[in-house]
């Protein structure tokens, strides 16, 4: 089988014949085969078995016909190597036994040791490099998003303790951002060395910040992460998560290649806000997938029309897939994006 590099070309803003498609959280509970595996394995069990993790990564590629694979893992995986115990609790998310709250807690965090603590992840990436005929995207959680779990101890809606640290003890906050920045850089470099074809930095919850606070408290570390990776040719994606539209103008100088948009910002407006240097990825509201196929296609069509207006567009959702999504509709949507965009791009 020939290698499908449409996704990589779109990331580099090169011309494509059809739009590439992948879905955030494309390996997951909407798939009965995945749910069956989950009956006997936790997420972390799967991650520790490279053959199984590779198989789960490939399932959506085979079933949906997407143009990229995303490594089956979680943003929390490298956190154990910092010296923080965590678990992923069913229907809750990441839970930390001893949250990070003080300067002493931050000082205790160790630099991550990929060879010692994360060799199974690198092995999964190497297996996928041999087996896939589409590019493999690997990822890390961004410092703010990881910090929100470390500080709150569990998923939060208000980020009250996170903001408390940020506003009340900025030196502790910045020390934490720097340590998490180091973690991200080491981890993404190792993933690329193991064969990742593109990397995505998930900052899922940073849209909780006012734009000026994003600029003061988070943008410096994001800037450093992309600067330190900028010599590597693999495309780099920054996903500033949900409700991030007002942050977009601050991203204009990042040394990233692609910016992920959520559904609150139209593609053309997102492009205007970030400026001409980037490809964009997104941004169908995932819950549109609950509608009949004709409604889903109408929404996709509007996004595709804007996306095709200039090179550098990757079709995706505005956030991750949810367990109630339909595999059959996802397969149809993928085929629709390919067919319809082929016509639009042919002029």
Residue ranges at the known binding site: 25-29, 74, 149, 204, 319
What's the closest the beta carbon of residue 28 comes to ligand CP3, in angstroms?
4
What's the closest the beta carbon of residue 323 comes to ligand CP3, in angstroms?
7
What's the closest the beta carbon of residue 212 comes to ligand CP3, in angstroms?
23
Choices 73-81, 112-120, 254-262, 305-313; region in contact with ligand CP3 by CB under 6 A: 73-81
For residues 153 to 192, the per-residue mask of contacts with ligand CP3, x marking binding by CB under 6 A and - elsewhere, is: --x-------------------------------------
146 lies in the binding site for ligand CP3 (CB under 6 A)? no
What's the closest the beta carbon of residue 284 comes to ligand CP3, in angstroms?
15
Q: Which of 119, 129, 195, 320 binds ligand CP3 (CB under 6 A)?
A: 320
Q: Choose among 32, 26, 27, 5: nearest CA to 16.
A: 5
Structure tokens, 314: 């990757």
Residue 215 has a CB neighbour count (10 Å cut-off) of: 14
Structure tokens, 310: 């200039």
Q: Looking only at residues 24 through 63 of this chain, which bind ligand CP3 when binding is defined by CB under 6 A? A: 24-29, 38, 43
Residues in contact with 91: Cβ distance below 8 Å, sequence separation at least 6, in sequence order: none
Gyration radius (Cα) of the chain, Å:
19
- CA distance linking residue 214 with residue 334, whole number of Å: 34
Pairing of β 93-96 and β 86-89:
antiparallel
Q: Which of 4, 186, 191, 204 binds ligand CP3 (CB under 6 A)?
A: 204
Closest residue to ligand CP3: CB criterion: 204
Q: Among the residues of the chain, which ranges form H helices? A: 6-11, 32-40, 43-47, 50-64, 79-82, 103-108, 114-117, 119-131, 143-152, 160-168, 170-193, 211-217, 219-229, 267-274, 293-307, 327-346
| Site of interaction with ligand CP3 (CB under 6 A) | 24-29, 38, 43, 70, 72-75, 88, 91, 93-94, 139, 145, 155, 202, 204, 320
């Amino acid at each position: 089988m020939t290698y499908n590099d449409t996704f990589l070309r779109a990331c580099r803003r090169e011309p494509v014949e059809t739009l590439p498609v992948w879905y955030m959280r494309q390996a997951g509970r909407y798939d009965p085969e995945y749910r069956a595996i989950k009956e006997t394995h936790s997420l972390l069990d799967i991650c520790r078995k490279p053959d199984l993790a590779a198989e789960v990564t490939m399932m959506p590629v085979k079933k949906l016909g997407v143009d990229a694979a995303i490594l089956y893992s979680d943003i929390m995986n490298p956190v154990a190597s910092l010296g923080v115990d965590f678990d992923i609790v069913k229907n809750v998310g990441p839970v930390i036994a001893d949250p990070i709250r003080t300067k002493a807690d931050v000082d205790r965090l160790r630099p991550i040791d990929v060879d010692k603590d994360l060799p199974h992840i690198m092995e999964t990436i190497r297996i996928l490099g041999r087996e896939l005929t589409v590019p493999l995207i690997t990822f890390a959680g961004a410092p703010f998003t990881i910090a929100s779990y470390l500080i709150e101890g569990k998923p939060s809606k208000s980020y009250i303790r996170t903001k408390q640290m940020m506003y009340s003890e900025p030196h502790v906050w910045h020390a934490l951002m720097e340590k998490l920045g180091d973690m991200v850089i080491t981890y993404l470099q190792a993933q690329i060395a193991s064969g990742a074809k593109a990397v995505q930095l998930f900052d899922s919850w940073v849209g909780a910040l006012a734009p000026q606070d994003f600029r003061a408290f988070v943008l410096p570390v994001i800037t450093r992460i992309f600067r330190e990776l900028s010599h590597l040719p693999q495309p780099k994606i920054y996903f500033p998560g949900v409700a991030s539209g007002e942050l977009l103008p601050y991203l204009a100088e990042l040394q990233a290649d692609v910016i992920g948009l959520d559904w609150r910002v139209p593609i053309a407006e997102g492009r205007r806000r970030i400026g001409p240097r980037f490809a964009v990825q997104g941004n169908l509201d995932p819950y549109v997938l609950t509608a009949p196929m004709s409604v889903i296609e109408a929404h996709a069509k509007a996004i595709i029309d804007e996306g095709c207006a200039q090179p550098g567009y990757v079709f995706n959702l505005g956030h991750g897939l949810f367990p109630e999504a339909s595999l059959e509709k996802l397969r149809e949507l993928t085929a629709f994006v390919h067919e319809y965009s082929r016509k639009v791009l042919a002029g």
